[in-house]
Amino acid sequence: MEIIELWTDRENKKIDPKLFSDRAESLAKQLADDYRREKGDPNKISQIRKFYDEVVRLNMAAKNKNSEWDNILPMVNMIIAKIAYAKGRNLISDNFLNFMKTSIKQIEAPEDLAVFANLFEAFYGFYKFYCPSNK
């Protein structure tokens, strides 16, 4: 699975124009294939939704002017532990684990989290399209 970079130019805050379309769709196709191919039906939509909701919640907290980023970033990084736990229970595929880990490791500032939240939203929409019967 290819690593998805949140920025094409971090310093100048340039996002890949295809990040929320082609990249998100490609990832959704891969994870839909995992769902159909792997034993135990990993990547159920309800499991992915749980992580999506957490990312959105943390992104909203980061946008709150009264929030301390120094307290939010550790919670963002804790998602990696939660993902590892889900993988240990065979609830997610290796590809979803890798997507989440590599993406979260790129988050250093609230702007990074906002880009990741948008990527996750785009991926989630495509995933529901490619795996409509998945619950």
39 vs 61, residue with greater confidence = 61
DSSP, res 129: H
pLDDT digits (tens, 9 = 90+) for 116-134: 999 999 999 999 999 877 6
Residue partners of 55: CB distance under 8 A and separation at least 6: 76, 79, 113, 116, 117, 120
Instruction: Write out pLDDT tens, residues 9-38.
Output: 999 999 999 999 999 999 999 998 888 887
Helix residue ranges, H only, 15-68: 24-37, 45-63
The percent of the chain in helix, strand and coil, each rounded to the nearest 5, is 65, 0, 30
pLDDT band at 135 (very low <50, low <70, confident <90, very high): low
Check: pTM over 0.75? Answer yes or no.
Answer: yes
Q: Is the pLDDT of residue 54 over 80?
A: yes
